[in-house]
Amino acid sequence: MSIKMLEKKDVLNGVQWALMERVEVAKKAAYQAYEQATNVESVAENKYDTFGLEASYLAHGQSQRVAECEADLAVFIKYKSQYARLHQIISEGSLVQVREQNSETFYFFISPVAGGTKVTFKGEVITLLSMTSPFGSSLLGKEEGDEIALDTAYSHKQYEVENCC
């Protein structure tokens, strides 16, 4: 399926929904951690019993995760209308289709937040790709037909930008 067949506004709605879902999952985890930390069974029975302390650290970490997920969602919503514009040169907010040299096709949304999050749209998996990741930074400034080489410690891969919007 060509990326031009994907409706960018619908993809953006899917990304927003996925980010909202991340917030809800983080809130549930934070609530569970809080419940564990404040449970009467978490009270230390002696100076070597650290279960309650560990539970409180986990609760604090989960509350920070909620704040991060909410901030990611807020950033996405703030710039969503700008992302809806079509891009011929890959930049923040671009929806990109690339083909690996072995003919496998990948879809990415160049995102300032939540890199690695996957959204399925019309049977295609679209991965949010951070601009600071090695692959994300190598895509910036490219356009349809450009090639990208990505070297890792274990492999060398070639990609071609098939579509960008």
Q: Which residues pair with 109 in a beta bridge?
A: 95, 128
pLDDT of residue 65 exceeding 60, the answer is yes
CB 76 within 8 A of CB 16: yes
pLDDT tens figures, 91-146: 999 999 999 987 899 999 999 999 999 998 888 899 999 999 989 999 999 999 99
* Local structure of residue 89 (DSSP, 8 states): B
Total-model pTM: 0.81
pLDDT of residue 82 exceeding 60, the answer is yes
CB 148 within 8 A of CB 99: no
How many angstroms separate the CA atoms of 108 and 115, rounded? 10
**pLDDT-derived band at 152, boundaries 50, 70, 90:** confident
Which tokens hold the place of 131?
A: 């601009």
Would you state the pLDDT for residue 138?
Answer: 92
Would you state the pLDDT for residue 106?
Answer: 92
